[in-house]
Amino acid sequence: MILDQLEKLVLFHIESQRQNIIDIRNWIFQLTIMSGGIIGFTLPVLGTSSLIKNAYFLIVGLFLLWLDIILGFGYLKRVLSRENNKLTKQWEELKKDHGIKTETKGDTKDYILDVLYGIFIFATLLIILSLVDF
């Protein structure tokens, strides 16, 4: 009875981790898509719009959004490549142990999510400031 409960708990924990990873990846993907949409909408009006009062802020904001896209997709590529390389090893361990093993990450924090969000907020503020006449 205890073994069944432990197995259910492990399965629940693994499913929760998997869903959390999916949510983080979706968030990064949506952030990069929003950045691309803002760039795609703003670039055609860069030189011709009377709304833009300070082109410097707009250019810096657009560059930061472009950097956000590059970092976001680079992070996703790195994570997916690392996980793909571990699949064979995980499969062999599962077959060998006839159980479920999870690899725990240490207490290190990955700051890429904070960096991506900070760049996105700063870039959008610069774009908004480019519309203000000082």
SS3 111: coil
> pTM of the predicted model, to two decimals?
0.55
What pLDDT is stored for residue 26 in this prediction?
85
What pLDDT is stored for residue 100 in this prediction?
54
Identify the DSSP state of 45: G
What pLDDT is stored for residue 91 in this prediction?
60
Torsion of CA 22, 26, 29, 30, to 10 degrees: -170
Per-residue pLDDT tens digits of the chain, which is 134 residues long? 577 777 777 777 777 777 877 888 888 888 888 888 888 777 777 667 777 777 788 788 888 888 888 888 778 777 776 776 676 566 666 667 655 555 555 555 667 777 888 888 888 888 878 877 76
Question: What is the spatial distance between Cα 74 and Cα 67, in angstroms, rounded to a whole number?
Answer: 10
Show the DSSP H helices in the chain as ranges: 2-42, 55-97, 112-129
